[in-house]
Amino acid sequence: MDDTPVLVTGANGYLGSWLTRTLLEAGHTVHATVRDPDNTAKVGHLKEAAASAPGRLVLFAADLFDDGAFDEPMGGCGVVFHTASPFIINDIKDPDAELLQPALRGTENVLGSANRSDSVQRVVLTSSVVAIYGDAIDMHVAGVDAFDEQHWNTTSSLSHQPYNYSKVRAEKRAWEMADAQSRWRLVVINPGLVLGPSLTQASDSASLSTMRQFVDGTLKLGAPELEFGVVDVRDVAEAHRRAGLQDDVSGRHICSNRTVSLLEIGQILRAEFGARYPFPTRTLPKPLIWLVGPFSGLPRAFVSRNVGYPLAFDNRRIRQTLGMTFRPVEQTLCDHFRQMQADHRATR
């Protein structure tokens, strides 16, 4: 497949940009779909990456919601990397219309094009660890020490953790479509909380809003006792590349380095950048979070089922099957924050 073009959907997104660059640097011809190939602010960094790489970039306009929009860009491609997906976790008024239906329609449109494209041999889907679990308490209820690829999120719904619900429904729909045919193989990457530097200031990824909390005063008085499986965006891009181009790869792959708490993130950043930023120095009691959570975007059901519960992921499969190693979390966090400083998004 090394001489065959590959397709990246959402190529100018946070992850898609790094994946496109990684593939170009490996010498591949990349068909990259974006909403507007003429928008320099959105695609200029992709063109710059192609100019200094041995690979070749071909930009296509495609919208996730347009039937057949991926037929042309997918033509002649052996591998499809489907990274494009709606990522809205705040200010959701209609979870079905804003999250679930877009996630399902996007998956169906891209995989529908794969069914019509005779050249496609493999589809690599970007899912999430939230398709594996819904709330941290699920690990306790399941009686396990860590989540692995055998677990599925069965606790999220349109009324509770709707983003998580959209991810599990979209991944299950992808598996249904994959099982209904026999030409192409589906491989799924399930990343944790993706952090690390972006390739463009135009990025509106959720990781930026997550890190922004450490400088805008949100966590000044302390942090909720919440844990996340963190992974570097550059490592996620490399995992996708390997999943698409290595032989005999199949199934789901948890892509998470290690679990860190909000407090630990603050401690790592404070050790590197000092005390002039309002990094949290203590954990807030859960009753207080439960009381004030709804006023800061944390529903009480979320607080009850996540705050104070440990979270862990077993990443042995991705290390063994794809040979993945991960950057230290400290490097991921500090590189991310340095970029925020350079972009003037971490000013005080």
**Residues with catalytic roles:** 167
Report the 10 Å Cβ neighbour count for 173.
16
The alpha-helical segments, DSSP class H, found in the chain are 14-25, 40-51, 71-74, 95, 101-116, 137-142, 162-179, 206-212, 233-245, 262-273, 286-292, 300-306, 316-321, 329-342
42 token code pair: 């959105």
Rounded to 10°, the helix 14-25/40-51 angle is 20
Rounded distance between C-alpha atoms, residue 348 and residue 346, angstroms: 7
3-state secondary structure of 59: strand
**In a 10 Å sphere around its CB, with 0-12 CB exposed, 13-18 middle and 19+ buried, how is residue 320 labelled?**
exposed
3-state secondary structure of 189: strand
Rounded distance between C-alpha atoms, residue 200 and residue 121, angstroms: 31
Task: Give CA 276 to chain center in angstroms.
Answer: 30
